[in-house]
Structure 1
């Protein structure tokens, strides 16, 4: 039982809900987008399969990153299964490979209308994740490129993968929505880097706070908490987004206001970002993702 609990912890379960929700939200958005999809069993089957895939894939991504971050985690996260010695490296690799194999198999079976778009999107996401974690590229070492290789799979492609569980991704709307989330994570993903500066520096990872300093990095990422959500209002006004007009306008306004508030928390005392183990802005990043995902689903459902 303890062994299974260790594997469960290794997969970082609290991070698995967000990608699953992202796929479900993307599926609901696609179903409600013009032209609306008529009710069918596949409107439940493929999105639920896709949500399971996203959770398993994220567990694999988490595991892969921990394997290659072992020396860094000895400083930043010494209680995790690998640096604490509760999990052997061989066991970690077995868990990682199993997660990737299962996720890709699930993605292949997400094929509405016989299309395997979800599989190819997921495969692209896996490539991005390997670029982020694995040498020789290991973009985690390369400043803004770390953010790019987080934002593409976890922001842009996640929403498009969700859309692909219902409709084809050929068109502007799914990519426009994905871009909103991608641009958000392009900056917001740095919130986790401030408290990890000591370990990242020793591990040769030149994150934005290390390259530019805490205060400047906080200012650099601030637009990502505001600008992407203005795109919701623009998209609704230009009819790129075909959900409920006023619900989208309200969502855009609320998310923009929320983003401004988070910027205020970061910028009023930026030095706290590097002192607190997990600054409140990091928690708000996840909350903003949940609110935005839920808001999009609601705007296309009604």
Structure 2
């Protein structure tokens, strides 16, 4: 048999191969068989050998297939056990993202300023320790919540009207970045306006209601893009809107809310209220002027004729510093005229320190760097907060 098989090598040769278990492109020969056509006997021998080889090949293929299936299962199992990155759109991450977006939408520095101003001015109506009653704290809370709702309406409407401008100046805001749709913005703004008026009405305080109503009118006229309105396009009118709300309405209306509605007293305006109104008039002008300094690029593109666009960043910057230093100087004089020694010292020292800190920070600010200018703008808001801590101490 051996000689027959060997003798058949000169005839037809057939080979087979089988794929490797870990590669579909690599093949390894596993055997060959030879067919001889000389005699029928030799054919039968070769056929029997060939059948044996084929059976072995079938067994090998089945083994390889089973191995491949098991390997695939192990790999899939291993992959499924690997830690994956959390999906930002998953339910557990939706709430933090929503809070962050609303936080940016609400312009928190304005919200903090509004809350501090209401608390500070309300304290000016306090004449004795017994005035710190439950009615006082409820009255202050009602004013803060109602003003907060109106604040969201005003800053939200401004963002709805300035989406294209904010894509240049403030791309991190939710409407400009696309996190909020226009429809979402409209729903939020409308809802908070309704909530503000609803709370002001059920409280029943006319000073509070008129403060909300006038703020609504001026905030709408400032931002909304319809004929005869969008007053932010005109530098002087825009500044007057901000002064009216921040310097006059906040000081006078919320003071009267506590003085007349909560305490039921006559509407008198003592020296601290007059000082607060005058000082915040300076501060509101500075905020109105300075807020446009970082936004000069977008304002130029969209035709907003702010003082910064007309006069340049450097000139407006130093005008703001000069106005604030004048305000601090006047505050020092007012403090020096106080009949209370503790009020005199605190007012003089406090405003002197704030004036010196302002001057030092201004001298070190790079006016060619937008980030530095934006940081300085937020520093002005910090001075704004600090002033409302000093105002109740002016006596």
Structure 2 length normalisation: TM-score? 0.65
- Report the Cα offset of residue 281 of structure 1: 2.4
- Report the Cα offset of residue 223 of structure 1: 3.1
Report matched runs for 1:80-159 at 5 Å: 80-111=173-204, 115-135=205-225, 136-159=228-251
Q: Would the aligned equivalents of 2:335 and 2:347 in 1 still touch at CA under 8 Å?
A: no
Residue 19 (structure 1) aligned with residue 114 (structure 2): yes
- Report the Cα offset of residue 4 of structure 1: 3.7
Query: Within 2, Cα distance between the matches of 1:299 and 1:180?
Result: 12
Report matched runs for 1:1-302 at 5 Å: 1-2=94-95, 4-5=98-99, 6-32=101-127, 38-111=131-204, 115-135=205-225, 136-168=228-260, 170-173=267-270, 174-235=273-334, 244=340, 246-247=342-343, 250-266=346-362, 271-272=367-368, 275-276=370-371, 278-299=373-394
Query: Within 2, Cα distance between the matches of 1:58 and 1:278?
Result: 24
Gaps of 5+ in 1: none
Q: Which has the higher contact order (CA 8 A, sep 6+)?
A: 1
- Report the Cα offset of residue 134 of structure 1: 1.9
CA-based RMSD = 2.8
Q: Would the aligned equivalents of 1:59 and 1:99 in 2 still touch at CA under 8 Å?
A: yes
- Report the Cα offset of residue 192 of structure 1: 2.6
Gaps of 5+ in 2: 1-93, 261-265
Q: SS at 1:194's partner residue?
A: coil
TM-superposition CA deviations, 1:39-75 (whole Å, max 9, x none): 4321111011111122222111110110111110111
Query: Within 2, Cα distance between the matches of 1:30 and 1:284?
Result: 29
Query: Within 2, Cα distance between the matches of 1:234 and 1:295?
Result: 14
- Report the Cα offset of residue 225 of structure 1: 1.0
Larger strand share, 1 or 2: 2
Query: 4+ runs of 1 displaced by more than 4 Å?
Result: 233-239, 267-270
